[in-house]
Structure 1
């Protein structure tokens, strides 16, 4: 049986429609999942919507809507985003589902059984927008003497009866866990969390509410609902069958990777491992806090009118083009900027002009000059062997960088392999060999066919739809498109012996044009 691999996105808060940041994280997670599948792993990818909490309730009420009805609509937009962007999740979980309520209550009961929950009175600063508490020393000054959270969001003083979790009990454990190499990346996020843990007396955490009822009821405590982050984080367990301990959950927990935005690292690297430790469950193996996307260098907000709908962007430029651009453009883990001009420029230069044109030229020459026939046993020159070695080396680098979640560096390695193939075409000039040395022309074209196929399989997790269209045209079987296929050096001979041939090719990466309003 293949080894298991389990990863998650953050559970999206649907008090509004999805924005490009949600799309960025979902695409990255989907690419990781596809890479792992191509490597032979049994993969589970879980995403979903976190629909409880005061912010969600207030947003629905302000719109004059029933909260569940509003949540149903908003969650649907996130499903639509996943469908548009080709996100192949294993489970899409909503925190309003009955199974999730059961999972959250089971986790709560396990923490209670460990003696880590107690009833007390809460007084302190709370940010509705962040759904988070902040100590006095963490606040920053706003305009007019107001207090703001470290994220710059408004805070309000709250007083209510609350269940508390003994977070302070786990301070040493959390420090040791976050100092473990590879647990929290990148390094900048790890340093932030360790500074928080080492620089403060870790306060016990208020984990229930009585001021509203939109949440998971606390078992055995009428009038209390769970703090939204207890509920939301539990989704990672719900997605693989918890509270059932056997089957999917037993096979896939602990998660191999939680992929999240940098603004919610504390919840995942501090609160979540403590909850799990209390409940007798292992911590996730790794957490990665990626950066933010800026629109033309500016933070997106509704007030400035620069929020970008990822569904519209994908429909405008193509799903695969958007997926490729976001991972190629921004070093993963750092903040990055995007614009329509940048999408068009990069995708035209790299997908259309470099790789797309390479594939189209090669397949067209095979169709025109060899009547589409494929041959796998032609003698190869040192130049052919050198190209094969260069491409294989760059694709190995690509996989290594993808394993480290350095997507932009991996794509750079892939592009170096593409450039090497284009340089080889220019050097060998197969069009000139047609009359002077047709056998050599055939050898050159078959060398290129091999490289185009390998390049396509390597980039397939990023641009799956386009690559599958290309591989279909090449006659590559659906079950011969994983990374193990890259080790099969005899595939072309086998394909040729089975009558494989190239028909009139169709380009899979058309050139993009700026939308009229963007061009203006």
Structure 2
């Protein structure tokens, strides 16, 4: 690949400023920030565009409710968005505002170009107008009461002259293009768009009369109108890179990747491609669509009082803890629940116990036995080489999964290596080697671990940049001088480099202890019973491989699993609150097979998964390495 080819352009939506930043806005922008950091570590030139959408009916209404004019109001809210992204450390290249003179100029250029091509026509239209959607609705978009399905309000019947864009003219082309091209990810959103394209597309009203709405960009060919807010907003993806005057706009546009939430799929997957086609411009490279963050299965909304403030969460638990949870908890494309109990469980289990503890133990031992300097390697044992192999294979899988937008699976893969690192340090016991005078052996173990920590820090920089920088600084390394090429280099950090232990990266979050119930006391007493080896041998413990997993309707806790052990069995397991179905595919687990088959919620279960449960949550018991499905556990 030529150096000039290593360029990538990412965009978030520009956020509508009728309200202040919330978790949904933060998720999209943090994901894009993580991807930009990822590609920078792959030595790409990255352009990251975000910003605010500042015109339309809802802006005027929100400003009026606060006793302000539209410009003063959008200035205030746009500033809040920018300050939020700066506080969260997001590395955007440009923060664009649709009220800027540069953007207005580009929008008017596009409008005039399409008007001159004959794409717009003036017509009188009457119909149901939703001020929440800021457009006319079709009958299919109304519920049985005649209300807008999205805003749960009755639309207003309007009759007025406006300019229209004939979308139907391009429906056949777009349908054919989407059928052949891999434009939308995940693919089920592509199918959703193709289903919409089965029906004729109504004309898109691209104007609003100034007599009703003056807060917008004036049509260059008719001063009595302003343009429709979506027509204005979508063009930011071009104006933000200097279209049409900056000669480099095309370099970025050929590599444009849009990231959005599923509620704005239609404008991005139908309106925007047709606008580009009409302009004679190539389509963007890819459209990535994520689901909603929910609270107790409900979409967040101000009226329900369940909106999560990302700044508040960051100030309470840390910016990187929030970023980790967002990347780890949502399978990109699907909805996910934001649950504070699960947040704390993940924090304590993954960050404080697994990762933070590994870092602190390793650096502490180097400080204690090697005067805070990277020790030299001695001869490597088979255990050392196997440890390297596990770390290398895991990192390679992590990088592939991350680049494939499977962030939750990538992090689970990486945590396998982090957990194995804890197993390695426990088994090798470098403190014991040092105490017994075998400093060379202790140094080799710790040098291996220091290099692995460097690799973990590099891998995690897109997800937890502050933590990665702290860890790299503790190893006398700087992120600006490194790339993913150094992730598998076991000579980094170099011998003799200073190591700084510092404070624990993630202090545990202590929760109030609950009073022990009589049932728990009874269970504790039952655990004191002992059994003979003959009784133990009656149980058939085996390793199984999960090949299919799905939720059982009507329950939040149960999953239906198909497991090879080696025959195929169906097992119902109450682990849905801890594992998503897609996380379990190809996972090897420990099973009890000689239980009497039973039905749970009407679904047959032919065995039981074994798991451990403590104050940090539930974790499946898995073999240390891959074994043959059906292997007996003894």
Q: TM-score range by the shorter chain?
A: over 0.9
- Give the structure 2 partner of residue 347 of structure 1: 347
Report what 1:118 is aligned to. 121
State the Cα distance separating 1:296 from its structure 2 match.
3.0
Name the structure 2 match of 1:518. none
Conserved? CA contact 2:377–2:443, under 8 Å: no
1:335 match: 335
Task: Name the residue aligned to 1:418.
Answer: 418
Decide whether aligned partners of structure 1 residues 16 and 151 sit closer, same or farther in structure 2, where only a CA change above 3 A counts. Answer: closer
Deviates more, 1:349-358 or 1:119-128: 119-128
1:4 and 1:149 map into 2 onto residues whose CA distance is 41
Larger radius of gyration: 2
1:477 paired with 2:478, answer yes
Q: Which residue of 1 aligns with 2:524?
A: none
CA distance in 1, matches of 2:463, 2:324: 6
Segment drifting more, 412-421 vs 108-117: 108-117
Whether the aligned pair in 2 keeps the contact of 1:10 and 1:259 (CA below 8 Å) is: yes
Q: Distance in 1 between matches of 2:82 and 2:511?
A: 27
CA contact (8 A) 2:135 2:205 kept: no
Q: Aligned residue for 2:201? A: 202
SS at match of 2:379: coil
Match of 2:289, SS state, is strand
Q: Is the 8 A contact 1:359 1:452 kept in 2?
A: yes
SS in 2 for 1:241: coil
Matched, 1:506 2:507: no
Question: Partner of 1:225 in structure 2?
Answer: 226
TM-aligned CA deviation for residue 196 of structure 1: 0.5
1:103 matched to 2:100? The reply is no
State the match for 1:127 in structure 2: 130
- Paired residues in the alignment total 507
TM-score relative to the length of structure 1: 0.94
Match of residue 179 from structure 1: 179
SS for the counterpart of 1:491 is coil
* 2:118 is equivalent to residue 88 of structure 1: no
User: Pairwise mapping of residues 12-31 of structure 1 onto structure 2 (< 5 A)?
Assistant: 12-31=15-34
1:283 partner SS: coil
Compared CA separation, residues 477 and 24, structure 1 to 2 (3 A): closer
Q: Distance in 1 between matches of 2:384 and 2:311?
A: 43
| Counterpart position of 2:529 | none
Matched residue of 2:108: which SS?
A: helix
Partners in 2 of 1:417 and 1:208 — Cα distance?
56
Deviation at 1:351, TM superposition (A): 1.0
- Deviation at 1:443? 0.8
Query: How far does residue 188 in structure 1 lie from its aligned partner after superposition?
Result: 2.1
Determine if contact 2:376/2:443 at 8 Å carries over to the other structure.
Answer: no
Per-residue Cα deviation, 1:9-43 (whole angstroms, up to 9, x for no partner): 01100101111111111111111111111111100
In 1, the alpha carbon distance for the partners of 2:291 and 2:21 equals: 17
How far residue 459 of structure 1 moved from its aligned partner, in angstroms, is 0.8
- 2:540 corresponds in structure 1 to none
Written as runs of structure 1 = structure 2, the 5 A alignment for 1:249-260 is: 249-260=249-260
Q: CA–CA distance in 1 between the matches of 2:407 and 2:262?
A: 17
Q: Secondary structure at the match of 1:224?
A: strand
Verify: 1:459 aligned to 2:460, yes or no: yes
Post-superposition CA distance 1:288-313 (Å, at most 9, x none): 11000012332222222222211111
1:185-196 matches, cutoff 5 A: 185-196=185-196
Equivalent residues of 2:262, 2:289 under 8 A apart: yes
More helix by share: 1
Which residues of 2 match residues 55-66 of structure 1 at below 5 A?
55-66=58-69
* Alpha carbons of structure 1 residues 303 and 514: separation in structure 2 relative to 1, 3 Å: farther
Q: TM-score, normalised by structure 2?
A: 0.77
How far apart are residue 319 of structure 1 and its match? 0.5
- Give SS of 1:140's match: coil
CA offset at residue 353 of structure 1?
A: 0.9
| Contact 1:341–1:514 under 8 Å retained in 2 | no
> Relative to 1, partners in 2 of residues 1:43 and 1:401: Cα closer, same or farther, differing over 3 Å?
same
For residue 18 of structure 1, give the secondary structure of its aligned residue in structure 2. coil
Runs of at least 5 residues in structure 2 that lack an aligned partner in the other structure: 513-634
Q: Equivalents in 1 of 2:255, 2:192: separation in Å?
A: 22
CA shift in 2, pair 1:435/1:64, >3 Å: closer
Q: Does 1:240 align with 2:237?
A: no
